[in-house]
Structure 1
Amino acid sequence: MSKPFKVDIAELKAQPCKPNNFIIGVMLKDIMASSALRNHGKLRLCFISSFPPNRGYLAEYAYQLINGLARNENIEKIVILADKIQSPEGTEKVVYPEKVKCVRCWARNKPASLPRILSNLRKFSPDIVHFNCGLMSWGKSRIVNFLGSLMPLTVKLLGYPVLVTLHNMGEAVNSDKLGIYRLNRLNSFGLWLATKLLSKVNVVVPLKRYAQILKQKYHAENVQYIPHGTLGAIVNHVTTGGKTVLTFGHFSEHKNLPLLIQAVKEIRENDGSLKLVVAGDSHPNRPGYLENIKKTYGHEPFIVFTGYVNDEKLKDLFETSTVVVLPYLFSVGSSGVFHLACSFGKPVIISDLPDYRDMLEAEGGAAILVPADDKQTLIESIKKVVGDMQLQKRLGEQNLKMAENLSFEHIGQRYVDLYRRIIAC
């Protein structure tokens, strides 16, 4: 398995971006000629995304995919046009591979991000531009996110081959409950229009049902399904036993942490050895959420709040857990935590939601599905997995096999193959 690269914050100095230097009248034939000269050889990729040391907003996914792409012999150079650093103090230091360069040239919630990104594209002249985004990647306001949805088509109109990895869709996200906005007629039309604009470029989705929505509702023609990806098989064999429930991620209301705490507390009435580990921090869109949970439940002796977990500590965290539980009220795309658990060969209990059924069926992973917000079924499922080491082994081995087949090295190669097909069109 390839070792994850690191980023040194001290070296991540944002290169100055000068929107006033942006020339909208770029020479399209020069761009296409430059790309055509190189498309028979190694590729120069521009990757636009949030990126570590920032957290959330698909930054962690971007980190792992870039790691896989950077090790691909068909990639000559990767320039990441990333958001400016806003992470808390104490975030791990990062160092980029030789072929990867990061330019911190845009910021969330800033409409000026569009000209800044376009200005930096002009300087780099890539073979292909890859956007990594979701419903709220560009900021909290509807206007900023709508402008973000314009960027891929704008870049395409300027003559660059473009690919978007679209991680979630308005049709699959409960916007009211997530607290993004009320789904009235105006917002529904805005979502439809934003998705329609995105569907005009080449799109990759991590769930097959998203591809069906784009094709049937938006009449999109250039849609591909590529699975989320994993860290590969990090462990050689599955470990079983113990009585530790692990939940992990960036927490907000939809991850339903109070229900899991109540479920574990009720199980402990008959089995006082069971404990719960809550690993992670508040989601950037919900600052202070986990801190409020700790104020309410922090006195409980069976709960351990670890805070944010660096990559170096992941192996110990997962290997000492018995089962990973994700009792979400609704989904916002494929589950990165599920794929992380698979890399460590862990059994998973997850809410029975359309996105997760799609994910399991398409990728070959294994999980115990429970109805969302059903505490009694969740209790019975936890008791079943914790008390059955053969079940732990069977689920864990299937997940470990899936993780090996869908490592980010393999996913990176699928993207490289797609890059070449797009450039050739």
Structure 2
Amino acid sequence: MKICLVAAFPPSKRQLNEYSFHIAREIQRHKDVELIILADELEEYEFAVEMEEDDPSKKKRLAELPGFNVVRCWKFGSLTTPMRLLNTIRRLNPDVVWFNLVFSSFGAPSSPFAAFAGLSVPALTRAAGFYTHITLHHIVEHVDLAGTGVRREKIYRIGTNLATRALLKAHSVSVLLSAYRRTLMSKYSAQNILVGTHGTFTTIPSRPDFTKRGNPELRILAFGNWGTYKRLETLMEAFPAVLKNIPNARLIVAGGNHPAAAGYWESVRDAQPAGLPIEFRGYIHQKDVPELFRTSSVLVMPYDSSTGSSGPAHQACEYGVPIVCADIPDFRCMATDDDMAINFYKVGDAKELAEKLTDLLRSPDLQREMSEHNYEAGVQMMMATVARNYLRWFELHKFKRTMAEGEALAQRQQRGMRSWFSRAGKVSSGWTLDADLLPHNPDGNAVGEEVDPTQPEPPPARLTSKSSSLRKPCAEHGKAEKDGYDATGLESAG
């Protein structure tokens, strides 16, 4: 099976690039699958390149990751994305075209036409005859647009409503929260929605090593791309109160700035009083992520809103780390769907956040209980399992399409055989099914002619308008046409 995965992909640092890497890595392990990644072009953006350690003014170009077949055939913010992607897809002729998307995958809110053009590609891909699947990481109905910095919110919601309807033209759509499926079904009457899981990135899970935690520091980890709805102000306000009760606490702020908020975490760092045990580490290389989580006593998610299921929360489950999180409906749903151990605090309430962190760090038993619970949850949703579920779904639809095409071919052959027998004069019934052999039949519709099988058949040249006046519609042929399968009609998922 040949799959084209349309996604941002490393070394690009655009949204979902790391998720695309992990899902692609697992798909690559299946020898019967040929995976081609249709990725975004790399550009000269600061967040998309690494900085030289010895000279931050220099930028270092990153090479493509080895072992992946990557075709960089679309550009973020470009109106030419649909044409370029469709041309590439037609040339590659895959069995499945799989889109890994958020609403800003193809363009920022400041470039709405480019963003909409990109989001129309799945519908165009299906119209071109390719099986099309979307993994949609958020839906706009569940996003606090004001918190993400979107201007002209009403106009934006109208545009995203149209974009959502375009996305739902795909054969099937996976969402990562059950609440998203309910919204899409109730608002858009969608019947092709599946509920999947975000998944954890580990391949070989290992239980949490508690000797690496609280020895001697109790590390509080905040991890993400900062500056829009992922804010640090509430956490900075809460941490001194935590430190007062937990003297060996240490705060680690990891992750770079969101592309729309350049310089954000640096400004927060510069505003902190000297002497506080706070580390701002910036962008974390993939190879350094495991140790970062394994040595942390708790993951804190001090968000103002959300744009879907949380990647850092699933990484916390991967490494068996307790979670303290803002009480946001999407995260409540995530905790229920994926069976996570999370302590919630009221959004923006620094005092309650400090209390939740203090209570957890004071209780080794609670830390261990939540750690073990999250680890067990993570084992149940490893990316290998997620990838297998996708491949089973694709194989099912490939089988359905093959069966539908086989049914259609068999019916065409059956009609052809009946036609051949009538030409050979071997029809035993009183009807002939050859519309093309009957005179005065310019529309080519299948009609019949009454004949007496006991009488010799007159030669076709002697057929007259009188004999043609005896034609009647061929009921059997019409039924075969009516019952013929449409291959695309079988692809919709309930």
Q: TM-score range by the shorter chain?
A: 0.7 to 0.9
1:297 corresponds to 2:272 = yes
Which residue of structure 1 lines up, in the alignment, with residue 317 of structure 2?
342
Distance verdict in 2 for CA 1:298–1:420, change over 3 Å: farther
Which residue of structure 2 lines up, in the alignment, with residue 24 of structure 1?
none
After the TM superposition, which residues 67-78 of structure 1 pair with which residues of structure 2 at under 5 Å, given as runs? 67-75=25-33, 77-78=34-35
Q: CA deviation at 1:74?
A: 4.1
Question: The residue matched to 1:254 in structure 2 has which SS?
Answer: coil
Question: The residue matched to 2:190 in structure 1 has which SS?
Answer: coil
The answer as to whether partners of 1:72 and 1:409 remain within 8 angstroms in 2 is no
Paired with 2:369 and 2:37, the residues of 1 have a C-alpha distance of: 40
The answer as to whether partners of 1:56 and 1:283 remain within 8 angstroms in 2 is no
Paired with 1:346 and 1:377, the residues of 2 have a C-alpha distance of: 20
Q: CA deviation at 1:340?
A: 0.8
What is the one-letter code of the residue matched to 1:115?
Answer: M
Which residue of structure 2 lines up, in the alignment, with residue 230 of structure 1?
200
Paired with 1:271 and 1:384, the residues of 2 have a C-alpha distance of: 10
Distance verdict in 2 for CA 1:262–1:376, change over 3 Å: same
1:197 corresponds to 2:155 = no
Which residue of structure 2 lines up, in the alignment, with residue 390 of structure 1?
365
Equivalent residues, number: 379
Paired with 1:405 and 1:155, the residues of 2 have a C-alpha distance of: 33
Which residue of structure 2 lines up, in the alignment, with residue 58 of structure 1?
16
TM-score normalised to structure 2 length = 0.74
The answer as to whether partners of 2:147 and 2:304 remain within 8 angstroms in 1 is no
Percent identity for Structure 1 against Structure 2: 29
After the TM superposition, which residues 346-361 of structure 1 pair with which residues of structure 2 at under 5 Å, given as runs? 346-361=321-336
* Greater Cα radius of gyration, structure 1 or 2: 2
Question: The residue matched to 2:255 in structure 1 has which SS?
Answer: strand
Which residue of structure 2 lines up, in the alignment, with residue 130 of structure 1?
98
What is the one-letter code of the residue matched to 1:123?
Answer: R
1:379 corresponds to 2:354 = yes
Paired with 2:84 and 2:319, the residues of 1 have a C-alpha distance of: 40
The answer as to whether partners of 2:224 and 2:230 remain within 8 angstroms in 1 is no
Question: The residue matched to 1:175 in structure 2 has which SS?
Answer: coil
Superimposed CA distance per residue, residues 342-378 of structure 1 (whole angstroms, 9 cap, x where no aligned partner): 1111011111111111111111111111111111110
The answer as to whether partners of 1:72 and 1:412 remain within 8 angstroms in 2 is no
Q: Quick one: higher RCO (CA 8 Å, sep 6+), 1 or 2?
A: 1
CA-atom RMSD, angstroms? Answer: 1.7
Distance verdict in 2 for CA 1:101–1:203, change over 3 Å: same
Which residue of structure 2 lines up, in the alignment, with residue 107 of structure 1?
75
After the TM superposition, which residues 3-152 of structure 1 pair with which residues of structure 2 at under 5 Å, given as runs? 43-75=1-33, 77-86=34-43, 87-90=48-51, 95-97=65-67, 100-140=68-108, 141-152=111-122
After the TM superposition, which residues 188-267 of structure 1 pair with which residues of structure 2 at under 5 Å, given as runs? 188-201=157-170, 202-232=172-202, 234-239=205-210, 240-241=213-214, 242-267=217-242
Q: CA deviation at 1:237?
A: 3.3
Which residue of structure 2 lines up, in the alignment, with residue 26 of structure 1?
none
Out of 149-158 and 47-56, give the one that drifted further: 47-56
Distance verdict in 2 for CA 1:298–1:164, change over 3 Å: farther
Superimposed CA distance per residue, residues 95-147 of structure 1 (whole angstroms, 9 cap, x where no aligned partner): 333xx410111111111111111111112110000011112111111111111
What is the one-letter code of the residue matched to 1:120?
Answer: T
Q: CA deviation at 1:154?
A: 0.5
Question: The residue matched to 2:244 in structure 1 has which SS?
Answer: coil
Q: CA deviation at 1:238?
A: 4.4
Paired with 1:143 and 1:354, the residues of 2 have a C-alpha distance of: 30
Paired with 2:186 and 2:280, the residues of 1 have a C-alpha distance of: 44
Q: CA deviation at 1:280?
A: 0.8
Paired with 1:400 and 1:271, the residues of 2 have a C-alpha distance of: 25
The answer as to whether partners of 2:177 and 2:197 remain within 8 angstroms in 1 is yes
Give structure 1 regions of 4+ aligned residues with deviation exceeding 4 angstroms: 90-94
Distance verdict in 2 for CA 1:366–1:74, change over 3 Å: farther
Q: CA deviation at 1:337?
A: 0.4
Question: The residue matched to 2:36 in structure 1 has which SS?
Answer: strand
1:273 corresponds to 2:224 = no
Distance verdict in 2 for CA 1:408–1:104, change over 3 Å: same
TM-score normalised to structure 1 length = 0.86
The answer as to whether partners of 2:143 and 2:306 remain within 8 angstroms in 1 is yes
The answer as to whether partners of 1:149 and 1:197 remain within 8 angstroms in 2 is yes
Q: CA deviation at 1:45?
A: 0.3
Distance verdict in 2 for CA 1:392–1:238, change over 3 Å: farther
Distance verdict in 2 for CA 1:386–1:56, change over 3 Å: farther
Q: CA deviation at 1:182?
A: 2.6
The answer as to whether partners of 2:246 and 2:362 remain within 8 angstroms in 1 is no
The answer as to whether partners of 2:322 and 2:367 remain within 8 angstroms in 1 is yes
What is the one-letter code of the residue matched to 1:101?
Answer: N
